[in-house]
Amino acid sequence: MGALSVLLASIGNRASIILALSLPLCAYLPASVSKVLLPYMSFIIIGLITLAMIRVDLARVLGHLKNPVSLVLFLVGLMFVFPLSVDWIARYFSLAAPIHIGLVLAACAPPLGSAPNLAYLLKLDGELVFNITLAGTAIIPLTAPWVIGMTLGDQMTFDQWALFQKLLITVGSSFLLAFVVRKVLGRERIKRSSTQLDGVSTLIMVLFVATAMAGVSEIIENDPFYMVLLLIVVTIANFGSQFFFSIIGLFIRRIGHLFRSVGSMQTESILSFSMVAGNRNLGLVAAVIPIAFLQEILPFLALYQVPIYLTPLLGGLFYGYLLKRKK
């Protein structure tokens, strides 16, 4: 057990590099790997959410909920205003249908299930990110059908009940597993094992990227120009969202006398909102759309993982710089 603990700690300490390297390596895995792992995608997502719930400080979670104004405002912007804006931009630039659909679905999606784990890696507010992720996931059955109807119209049918069931099973199972593990390990042992938990989280995230990226190299060989274009689009969409929300959030905080609830927020909280804005759980939404549309946006879904897995590395530099400036 000692050797395993050391190994997991070593992986956790190198999480940013490992996640970045997993992208090109997994892309060159045969497509059969993705086909084998795809049926287990729900379990992978449950594992990521469970890890986040194990580590979360419940006292801080409840503390955030005592002043929910900022959380509500951000969710409105995240789940309603932002997708409508993305749709307008896609139409303005006359983007191809697969790119248009992929961008809108990503903007409609709840925050990434592993977003709290990313927040811990980036030294941000994991408890706040957990609240955003949970709330965003809870309201997605209500928000996504309306937003998709407003943006994509008759291009796509959307099974709201299937999505609701999937989210309920995923979140419910994660809560149950996390509750059991927290009881078995205890709060102090969990705190002492933070680096090892980073290691476990990293391994599960690599498993996820293997599921999404395996076989991508074959698509790149068939149409390299389109794949490069997709990579540029998803990178701008992710990091552009993070940068935009960071600047806007810090600006609003500076004029906080107009927005008292936001003006009193800590820098970590504002940057946590920003990180979540760019990192969405597109896999959950993609799982319930018609198979024809899923196949059409599959390259988008695969390459969408690239900026997510680069967030610990590049985001670490960006958020680290902003966090140092506050001191």
CATH of the domain at 137: 1.20.1530.20
Name the residue with tokens 């900022």: 70
C-alpha to C-alpha distance for 216 and 109, rounded to whole angstroms: 23
Asked, for residue 135, whether it belongs to a domain, the answer is yes
Please give the structure tokens belonging to residue 50.
């469970």
Confidence (pLDDT) at 24? 82
C-alpha to C-alpha distance for 86 and 138, rounded to whole angstroms: 22
Asked, for residue 172, whether it belongs to a domain, the answer is yes
Asked, for residue 9, whether it belongs to a domain, the answer is no
Asked, for residue 13, whether it belongs to a domain, the answer is no
Report the domain count for the chain: 1
Asked, for residue 4, whether it belongs to a domain, the answer is no
275: how many CB neighbours lie within 10 A of its CB?
27
Confidence (pLDDT) at 134? 78
Confidence (pLDDT) at 236? 93
Could you say which DSSP state residue 326 is in?
A: T
Tabulate helix, strand, coil % of the chain (nearest 5). Answer: 85, 0, 15
Confidence (pLDDT) at 14? 83
Contact between 279 and 48 under an 8 Å Cβ cutoff? The reply is no
Residue 171 structural domain: 22-325
- 287: phi then psi, degrees, rounded to nearest 5: -65, -20
- Reported pTM: 0.76
Confidence (pLDDT) at 152? 78
Asked, for residue 273, whether it belongs to a domain, the answer is yes
- CB-side neighbour CA atoms (13 Å) of 157: 6
Any residues with CB less than 8 A from the CB of 312 and at least 6 apart, and which? Answer: 15, 16, 19, 20, 118, 121, 122
Q: pLDDT 10s per residue in the chain (327 long)?
A: 578 888 888 888 888 788 778 878 888 888 788 778 877 877 887 887 788 778 766 666 666 666 677 778 888 888 889 999 999 999 998 888 888 989 998 998 888 877 877 888 888 887 788 888 878 877 887 788 788 878 876 666 666 677 677 767 877 888 788 888 888 888 778 877 778 888 888 888 888 888 877 777 777 788 888 888 999 999 999 999 999 888 888 877 777 655 555 555 677 888 888 999 999 988 777 766 766 676 677 788 888 988 987 888 888 888 888 888 765
Buried b (16+ CB within 10 A) or exposed e, 163-199: beebbeebbebbeebbeeebeeeeeeebeebeebbbb
Q: Where are the beta strands (DSSP E) in the chain?
A: none
Contact between 50 and 200 under an 8 Å Cβ cutoff? The reply is no
Contact between 84 and 276 under an 8 Å Cβ cutoff? The reply is no
Contact between 311 and 118 under an 8 Å Cβ cutoff? The reply is yes
**CA atoms 220, 226, 229, 234: torsion sign:** negative
Confidence (pLDDT) at 258? 52
- 93: phi then psi, degrees, rounded to nearest 5: -90, 5
Asked, for residue 269, whether it belongs to a domain, the answer is yes
Contact between 305 and 23 under an 8 Å Cβ cutoff? The reply is yes
